[in-house]
Structure 1
Amino acid sequence: MSTATFERSDPQLLSVGYRLTGSVVAALGIAADGGSTSDPADRLVRTVRAALAALQAVAVRKQTYTGPWLPEPIVLEPDSFEDPLASAVAGDGARLATMVALESLSPTTRISYVLRDCFGTDAGQIAGALAISADKVNRLADKGAGLMADTLQPDSIEDHNEVVAQGVLALTLGDMESLAALAHPDLTYLADSNGVTRSATGPIVGSATVLRLLSTVMTRYGSEMTRHTRPVLINGEMGLLTDAGIREQSPLHRRVTALAVSGGKIVAVYDLSNPDKLTGTPLFR
């Protein structure tokens, strides 16, 4: 029986909470609450209950949410390796593309899969916290593992950062031919704004369509965006932060842009500008 995860609090519980919920705020709450008890079993129960409550609240909110829903990113300066939040996204399991895939799982499937397969928690212990049988936990975890295996498998962080750097340079120079060579034919653009900023309210699919959108934005706002955009770490990998101090509905509105890279190609663009999704990150406090 593995209880190691729940014999510690921060920063391990912070990582568990974030992987379970996709919320920085919820993860911080889980870590704080877990740190208030010295009993690993009690800590597990508290973690599961808090995660279930957070995921159920998200399910309700999604019903009236405008546009795509993405997990909250953890955005840090490139040299923030000692920040506790950096440890929460260490390794491949909390990369944004993986966190996006986790959003497709039901709450109990996500909890069973993440705790059993990602943190080595015994199915019987999870069962006690979820008030279901260990067999059901294993079935749910197996289902989650199968679904996750069929989703995007991101490249290594080193390869990711190299492709992103090439893509950003090409976009900045207006070299759309080079950018097109880096884009997967089924490149998907997802904008999470909840209608607060002017963004697409549904997925945009296809490299030609996405690149046309990016070209239009750069033609109109390129010089300003270049001036007010800088590299940051988004869930441990290179991404972009744009903040021109503008709060109107404009591409210059505060936002973070993350890319998913697989097979050496950019397969997804995640554009997050909903202020509610950025409050859990120190750069936006």
Structure 2
Amino acid sequence: MTTADVFGLHRTHLIGVAYRLTGSVADAEDAVQEAWPRFAKAEGVEDPRGWLTTVVSRICLDRLRSAAVRRETYVGSWLPEPLVTTPEDDDPLAAVVRSDGVRMAALVLLDKLTPDQRVAFVLHDAFAVPFGEIADVLGVSEAAARQHASRARRTVTGSTPPPRAALDEQREVLEKFLTAMVNGDIDAVLGLLHPDAVMIGDGGGKARTAVNTVSGADKVARFFLGLLRKYGYPEHRPVLVNGDLGMVMAAQGEVASRVTTFTVHGGKVAAIYDMANPDKLTHVEF
């Protein structure tokens, strides 16, 4: 087996690691690509998967630290880049979205962590990487690596999103929800929203969406019904977004192109994520 063949065997795994670490499709693909020449030149690698995971994680850590600086001046909420697939897709990204850990709700939670905490937590809890290897990635002692993971775990405890609802349940709930929206039936909309529902938009100051998180069923319902009255019901294409049902909408009049996805829990819409920043949608076909 050639070096390229060995690398190819681990590509999907590496994309999954890099995307969960960075929340960026572009950064994940770049990190994996950057790891290839290093692997091609390496000699005597006994554990290619572990070696490549470490290299990709180091690259992602650098990108996370740079992103943390950029976010200080970011306009509005920050959402991960969406992974848009269809049930028929059979590529590395389609394989990655099968994991609960790349759901939009899960990635939003990871964004609360520092870069070092995120790397330690994801590598250990999601991919069972030993703390000794995590310490090498972070450039700290093994005890410090454990502490980063422990602090991350405390941050996310109690906020972990519920398991992904079956696609049939998602489809049934969303069809009812969208029908109620089109009909302007606020009571029906409210009945399909979780009381603590949230709507998070990411326009990055370059496209219109909610600048601040909209919280509570009543506010979320009135926000969307107001948009429908102003702009009408948008044409859309159903897709999977990070493995959950969502939609892709091309630019229509004053409304920018966007990808919107939902979290369904207990037969209700618990969260809506609206990604409109064009910089994060360059890999999406509209």
Correspondence for 1:182 = 192
Distance of 2:151 and 2:143 partners within structure 1: 12
**Secondary structure at the counterpart of residue 190 of structure 1:** strand
Unaligned runs of 5+ in 1: 1-5
Per-residue CA distance 1:58-77 (angstroms, 9 max, x = gap) = 1111111110011111112x
Correspondence for 2:228 = 218
Identity of aligned residues (%): 35
Distance of 2:33 and 2:87 partners within structure 1: 25
1:1-285 → structure 2 map (5 Å cutoff): 8-36=9-37, 37=39, 39=45, 40=48, 42-76=51-85, 78-158=86-166, 159-223=169-233, 225=234, 228-244=235-251, 246=253, 250=254, 252-281=255-284, 283=285
Structure 1 residues 140 and 194: alpha-carbon distance in aligned structure 2, compared to 1, 3 A threshold:
same
CA contact (8 A) 2:17 2:57 kept: no
Correspondence for 2:3 = none
Structure 1 residues 14 and 34: alpha-carbon distance in aligned structure 2, compared to 1, 3 A threshold:
same
Distance of 2:172 and 2:20 partners within structure 1: 26
The residue identity in structure 1 corresponding to 2:230 is: R
Distance of 2:9 and 2:153 partners within structure 1: 25
Per-residue CA distance 1:151-203 (angstroms, 9 max, x = gap) = 14234331434323332232233332222111122222211001212222211
Correspondence for 1:3 = none
CA contact (8 A) 2:259 2:275 kept: yes
TM-score normalized by structure 1?
A: 0.87
TM-score normalized by structure 2?
A: 0.87
* Larger deviation, residues 233-242 vs 257-266: 257-266
**Secondary structure at the counterpart of residue 174 of structure 2:** helix
Distance of 2:117 and 2:170 partners within structure 1: 29
CA contact (8 A) 2:65 2:115 kept: yes
CA contact (8 A) 2:207 2:277 kept: yes
* 1:135 Cα offset (Å): 1.9
* Larger deviation, residues 128-137 vs 116-125: 128-137
Aligned length: 270
RMSD over equivalenced CA pairs, Å: 2.1
* 1:222 Cα offset (Å): 2.2
Structure 1 residues 161 and 151: alpha-carbon distance in aligned structure 2, compared to 1, 3 A threshold:
farther
**Secondary structure at the counterpart of residue 20 of structure 1:** helix
